[in-house]
Structure 1
Amino acid sequence: MQNNASAPQKKESKHFWGFPFTHFTYFFMWQIIFGYLTLWMEQVGHMNGAEAGVVFSAMAGLSLLFQPAFGVISDKLLFKKNLLFTISIAAMLIGPYFQWVFLPLMHINSMLVAIVTGIYLCFIFNGGVSVIEQYVQRASLANGFEYGHSRMGGSLAGMTASFVGGQIFLWQPNSIFWACTISATILTGLLLFSDKVDMDNASAAGDTSNSLDLKQIGKIFKLKNFWYLSIFYIGTSAIYDVFDQQFIIFFKSFFNSAAAGTQAYSYMTTAQIGLEFLLMFPMPWIINRIGSRNGLIAYGVILAVRIIGSALSPSLGWVIFLRLLAGFEMPLVLVSIMKYIAGAFDVRVYATVYALASNFAKQISVFIFSAVAGSMYDSIGFHHTYLILGAIVAVVTFFAAFVLKKEDPVQAGEEDEHGNAKA
């Protein structure tokens, strides 16, 4: 499939501020769920490591149905918000679900809980994240702003949710889910009244509403680079998710009380995401200079060091230091993947490639490894499990460094038409 350079885009920044707030409200919920769901399932739901792993596996497995469909639908809808509204309204029910549905189901059958929760949460998060991300990315092309600058809202949300989530969890564990309901209500309002797109410049994001067909989508699977990118995500970002799922349990083992560990975790995660927030501002500038492909490889290297280092950490101080490295990882991968897909693939199938390579393929690995890692945590411990996960990341990153194709820097938005790196 040939890369189609996008039409020249106007340099304007109107209609920017709604999008960072959209990122904030969505990723506030994301951080609450993925930061504290495991702890809630352990302390309130009374699940062990293997049972919690099954919940995440169910989420990942069922997202394999949502993500390809969401990618194709997003490429067809382009700037229409039908799917976005469906996701935000579903998220408004998170509080009622965990307050009045989850625990009664736990008394009936834990596997039933895993399946129902997996369907529900993966619709909102595992599947929905690609819908949110590609929408803002396309809006950034049409409105003339850097996607990474909008994504700072997501980083700020992660920092806020990590701190607030830890405090309200200690006060009342179920309150974390009602915080998600409030955030989703605000998100719905933003989608209704705030997020505006310069439709006069919509062609900069690729007018796929009439031109995209299944034949073009099918060509994606014939591209070697699509499979290489998928393998990279399976072996890096998927492992990151599995590593992170029960990290709070590992972290708490360094403390004498669960409450002290939970509070320290909220402070540490707040600091980590604060660093992520600060780095999101210069990261587009950095990626424009080193290239998005190199940004992805740098992400893999840092992730491998962090996971293996956690396994070998002699003290809590080292664990905290390595956790803070995640503040470098996320800006690298978030900015790099958006630019890389735009520069290495046909812009008309942007959302489909993003959904399939960076989400669908990743979730295959999460589906497989979540339950396996949960059992390994119980049987061989966190340290040995982390060594295995870190080794996988290192091997896959080394492989990707040799096989991922170089992106077109102009199409990726890294250079202007004269070959100069964008400011």
Structure 2
Amino acid sequence: MVMKFSELAPRERHNFVYFLLFFFFYYFIMSAYFPFFPVWLADVNHLTKTETGIVFSSISLFAIIFQPVFGLMSDKLGLRKHLLWTITVLLILFAPFFIFVFSPLLQMNIIAGSLVGGIYLGIVFSSGSGAVEAYIERVSRANRFEYGKVRVAGCVGWALCASITGVLFGIDPNITFWIASGFALVLGLLLWLSRPESSNSAQLSRRWAPIAAFSLRTAAELLRMPRFWGFIVYVVGVASVYDVFDQQFANFFKSFFASPQRGTEVFGFVTTGGELLNALIMFCAPAIVNRIGAKNALLTAGMIMSVRILGSSFASSAVEVVILKMLHMFEIPFLLVGTFKYISSAFNPRLSATLFLIGFNLSKQLSGVVLSAWVGRMYDTVGFHQAYLILGCITLSFTLLSFVTLRGGNRLLPTAETQSPA
């Protein structure tokens, strides 16, 4: 049962604060990388859009390799912090890696740079973010607080870093990388202080005791379930296509301004404003999703994504791309909270991490391997506007299809009450 903050036990309150701050600093670090990554690849390392697509494909490829491992390990480890420690230690090396390893390799050999970058970024962000999300969602259930309320801090951290990076990028991008490495040390401190096994965890363990023990066989049962594949249709056709669209949006955005530097600065400020709005919506999202249902939340996110992509294909001014960029902040809360609610309501909660990392993140990355290189090539051949029109039509079509393929309600794996799939 989710409790108000004032009703939590002291250790549960401490965990709420520690993991709220963990989200803040983790997504601050990610914001030093992700929003401006295509700009860094193009302006600092002088890659073409096709080469940028190759880099993103490599990141997706290694995410495919690591995400199943992370998903299975997360469910086996439960509330133990081994995975988060691994991610945190690698994040401390964030600046040295980008400055002294990744950038020189990209400029010497695009394939070698893509492979090395794909391994590192695949672990700490593409797979790591899913592991962090799934772990803290599990902690929130064990400590009786609402996951969406601690996730708000991630939006705020991302927002603050976006403005800082937008300004510092024109001075020296490396400054932001060093700040990120410093904040990774704070992640280590928070992880050391946290005690996720709350006083309620024993009761939680007893409640889950009748559930079939986790095994590869149980996880493999997902592949035989039509509703699982219905969820995959949504993830691949909507969420994955949208992710690929957003990969190089920063380069499209800055093309509407007098200078690339000015475009990058404005992109940072718009990202900050949008993420603060995202935080507000994320705070309210659990209540909204509980009211409208997880399926409707996912469909709402799909429609917002489709509008943004199709709108970008017709954008002709800076004002229009700013408005379209802001739509992203309405979509994320519905997609993220809706996904967790959909998984927890339709599947055995024992496999929540596996479902999120494999059913959601892995399937996105798998399609991203093919889509990133293809879409990058489209940008070089037909341009952003025509490519966005094609992507928008794909996303809208799969959103409409998901009205049929997505289901809600009964769990799909055996629980204490039922030993056969519904």
TM-score by length of 1: 0.91
Q: Note the C-alpha offset of 1:204.
A: 8.3
1:310-349 aligned within 5 A: 310-349=312-351
Asked if 1:84 corresponds to 2:84, the answer is yes
Equivalent position SS for 1:35: coil
What is the distance in 2 between the residues matched to 1:204 and 1:167? 52
Alignment of 1:227-306 (within 5 A): 227-306=229-308
User: 1:32 — aligned with what?
Assistant: 32
Task: Kindly report which structure 2 residues correspond to 1:122-271, keeping only aligned pairs within 5 A, or say none.
Answer: 122-194=122-194, 196-198=196-198, 199-203=201-205, 206=208, 211-271=213-273
Shift of 1:9: 7.0
Given that 1:18 and 1:196 are in contact with CA atoms closer than 8 Å, whether structure 2 keeps it comes out as no
- CA deviation map 1:329-382 (0-9, x unaligned): 011111111111011101111111111111000001111111111111111000
Deviation at 1:252, TM superposition (A): 1.1
1:298-341, Cα deviation, whole Å (9 max, x unpaired): 00001001110111123221211121111110111111111110
Aligned partners of 1:292 and 1:407 also within 8 Å = no
- Larger displacement relative to structure 2 (204-213 or 158-167): 204-213
Q: Distance in 2 between the 1:398 and 1:208 partners?
A: 38
**2: distance between equivalents of 1:257 and 1:335?**
37
Task: State which of 389, 395, 399 in structure 2 corresponds to 1:397.
Answer: 399
Letter in structure 1 aligned against 2:246: D
What percent identity do the matched residue pairs reach?
37
Runs of 5+ unmatched residues, structure 1: 1-7, 412-423
Structure 2 counterpart of 1:4: none
- Distance, in Å, in 2 between the alignment partners of 1:71 and 1:357 is 10
Residues 141 and 205 from structure 1, CA distance in 2 versus in 1: closer, same or farther, beyond 3 angstroms? farther
Letter in 1 for 2:241: I
Q: Which runs of no fewer than 5 residues in structure 2 stay unpaired?
A: 414-422
> Is contact 1:205–1:347 with CA below 8 Å preserved after alignment?
no
Alpha-carbon RMSD across the aligned residues, in angstroms, is: 2.0
Q: AA paired with 2:316?
A: P
Match of 1:96 in 2: 96
Give the conservation status (yes or no) of the 8 Å contact 1:18–1:195: no
Amino acid in structure 1 at the alignment position of 2:172: Q
SS of residue in 2 equivalent to 1:236 = helix
Q: Which moved more, 1:315-324 or 1:341-350?
A: 315-324
The amino acid that maps onto 1:247 is F
Helix, strand or coil for the counterpart of 1:33? coil
- In 2, Cα distance between the equivalents of 1:103 and 1:10? 47
Give distance in 1, aligned partners of 2:57 and 2:47. Answer: 14
Please say if residues 257 and 318 of structure 2, whose CA atoms lie closer than 8 Å, have aligned partners that are also in contact: no
Measure, in 2, the Cα distance between the counterparts of 1:186 and 1:149: 21
SS at match of 2:16: coil
Shift of 1:256: 1.5
Aligned partner of 2:62 in structure 1 is 62
CA distance 1:328–1:195, change in 2 (3 Å): farther
Taking the aligned partners of 2:134 and 2:175, their CA distance within structure 1 comes to 30
Which is further off, 231-240 or 377-386? 231-240
Counterparts of 1:191 and 1:23, CA distance in 2:
11
Aligned length: 403
Q: Secondary structure at the match of 2:173?
A: coil
Shift of 1:129: 1.3
Is 1:380 aligned to residue 382 of structure 2?
A: yes
Q: Which amino acid aligns with 2:77?
A: L
1:179-201 deviation per Cα after TM superposition (whole angstroms, max 9, x unaligned): 22122221111111135331334
Q: Is residue 356 from structure 1 mapped to residue 336 from structure 2 by the alignment? A: no
Structure 1: which amino acid aligns with 2:88?
S
| SS of alignment partner, residue 171 of structure 1 | coil
1 CA distance for matches of 2:376 and 2:209?
A: 44
Question: Please, what TM-score do these two structures have when normalized by structure 2?
Answer: 0.91
Query: Partner letter of residue 95 of structure 1?
Result: A
The answer on whether the counterparts of 1:88 and 1:188 sit within 8 Å (CA) in structure 2 is yes
Alignment partners' CA distance in 1, 2:346 and 2:357 = 15
- CA-CA distance at 1:105 after TM superposition: 1.7
